[in-house]
């Protein structure tokens, strides 16, 4: 087994693009669930709308990066409004049902050939990042960063991704410590009590839903900009549940939690993948083939999550008194 390679691949995930993209999606969920008590099981849809919004605006409308970026955000904000208007007046469970159904519906809509003119159908969309990479100040070449060697494009997308994570995290810290954030936490605890104190609960929940959805769409844009390909198959419900795993790993009502949760999650995936592959290659696991390793590691993730629920229900950073799985 090549331990140096295992180490560099695993450590590379620490600041990987997907790590940042999932961290963003999970930060959106933290806004929804951790701070407002909204059960959103359709974060994949918000991320997908960001990704498709960006790609569509670039390829079909020929907008530049800024316009496409704004278009992706608007798409997810409109989606949040459409889902929120009928469901936010009802109990939290209804939002969960509607989001999971809407995300599934969007997933099929994105993949169907009917809308191929806009979404590329099952082939998806590609080569929409030219303007994004034109802002890259780093000269072409490969850079040895000690742990990993990256191309100038890979470095640029990481800078933007983690820059966005930092900006969003700071904004959320400011927001959640403000009286606005306090009102949201009150709604999480008991929305009728907050209503009786003269707050328009519906408006607060809507603001939270839109904000968390928009943050999720930023994650979606980062996710597809790294490879400049956007396929419907990315936005399956698995994406949503992996985001939830990341959120719960770190702690639902925290800002640092989803970021560290994402890093730990992807490092764990890479570590198990490389170690298992290494073991299969040296013949230590005769009952496994290389192709099965990819599946086995998710099984281990499930085990990991179960242990977490049992022994540390508040996540890495959560305050046990403030937020557990029972929300």
Q: Which residues bind to other proteins, rule: CB under 8 A?
A: 171, 174-175, 178-183, 185-186, 188-190, 192-201, 207, 321-323
CB neighbours of residue 110 within 10 Å: 26
DSSP-based three-state secondary structure for 62: coil
Q: What distances in angstroms separate CA 286 from CA 281, 282, 290, 294, one per listed residue?
A: 9, 9, 10, 16
Smallest separation (angstroms) from other proteins to the CB of 72:
21
Smallest separation (angstroms) from other proteins to the CB of 73:
16
Smallest separation (angstroms) from other proteins to the CB of 271:
35
Instruction: Tell me the two tokens of residue 79.
Output: 């989606």
Closer residue to other proteins in complex, CB, 153/199? 199
Closer residue to other proteins in complex, CB, 201/264? 201
| Alpha carbons 65 and 77: distance in angstroms, whole number | 18
Closer residue to other proteins in complex, CB, 86/294? 86
DSSP-based three-state secondary structure for 2: coil
Closer residue to other proteins in complex, CB, 171/305? 171
Smallest separation (angstroms) from other proteins to the CB of 219:
21
Of 240, 224, 243, 26, give the one whose Cα is nearest residue 119: 224
Residues in contact with 115: Cβ distance below 8 Å, sequence separation at least 6, in sequence order: 109, 121
Closer residue to other proteins in complex, CB, 197/307? 197
Instruction: Tell me the two tokens of residue 2.
Output: 């090549």
Smallest separation (angstroms) from other proteins to the CB of 31:
12
Closer residue to other proteins in complex, CB, 70/101? 70
Residues in contact with 159: Cβ distance below 8 Å, sequence separation at least 6, in sequence order: none
Q: Are strands 142-144 and 149-151 parallel, antiparallel or unpaired?
A: antiparallel
| Alpha carbons 276 and 280: distance in angstroms, whole number | 6
Closer residue to other proteins in complex, CB, 207/245? 207
| Alpha carbons 48 and 35: distance in angstroms, whole number | 23
Smallest separation (angstroms) from other proteins to the CB of 313:
14
Smallest separation (angstroms) from other proteins to the CB of 173:
11
């Amino acid at each position: 087994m090549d331990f140096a390679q295992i180490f560099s691949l695993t450590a590379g995930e620490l600041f990987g693009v997907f790590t940042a993209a999932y961290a963003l999606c999970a930060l959106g969920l933290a806004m929804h669930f951790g701070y407002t008590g909204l059960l959103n099981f359709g974060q994949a849809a918000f991320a997908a709308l960001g990704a498709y919004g960006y790609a569509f605006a670039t390829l079909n409308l020929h907008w530049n990066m800024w316009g496409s970026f704004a278009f992706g955000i608007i798409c997810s904000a409109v989606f949040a409004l459409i889902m929120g208007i009928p469901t936010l007046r009802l109990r939290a469970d209804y939002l969960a049902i509607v989001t999971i159904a809407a995300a599934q519906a969007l997933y099929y809509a994105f993949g169907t050939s009917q809308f191929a003119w806009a979404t590329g159908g099952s082939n998806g969309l590609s080569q929409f990042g030219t303007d994004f990479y034109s802002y890259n100040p780093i000269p072409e070449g490969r850079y040895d960063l000690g742990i990993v060697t990256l191309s100038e494009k890979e470095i640029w997308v990481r800078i933007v991704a983690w820059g966005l994570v930092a900006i969003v995290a700071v904004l959320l810290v400011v927001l959640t410590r403000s009286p606005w954030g306090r009102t949201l936490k009150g709604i999480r605890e008991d929305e009728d009590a907050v209503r009786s104190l003269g707050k328009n609960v519906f408006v607060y929940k809507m603001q939270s839903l839109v904000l968390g959805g928009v943050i999720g769409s930023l994650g979606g844009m980062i996710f597809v900009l790294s490879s400049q390909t956007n396929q419907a198959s990315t936005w399956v419900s698995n994406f949503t549940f992996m985001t939830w795993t990341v959120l719960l790993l770190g702690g639902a009502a925290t800002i640092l939690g989803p970021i560290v949760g994402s890093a730990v999650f992807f490092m764990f995936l890479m570590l198990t993948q490389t170690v298992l592959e290494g073991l299969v290659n040296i013949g230590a696991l005769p009952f496994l083939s290389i192709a099965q390793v990819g599946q086995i590691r998710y099984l281990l993730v499930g085990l990991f999550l179960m242990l977490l629920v049992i022994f540390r229900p508040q996540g890495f950073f959560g305050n046990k008194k403030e937020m557990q799985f029972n929300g």
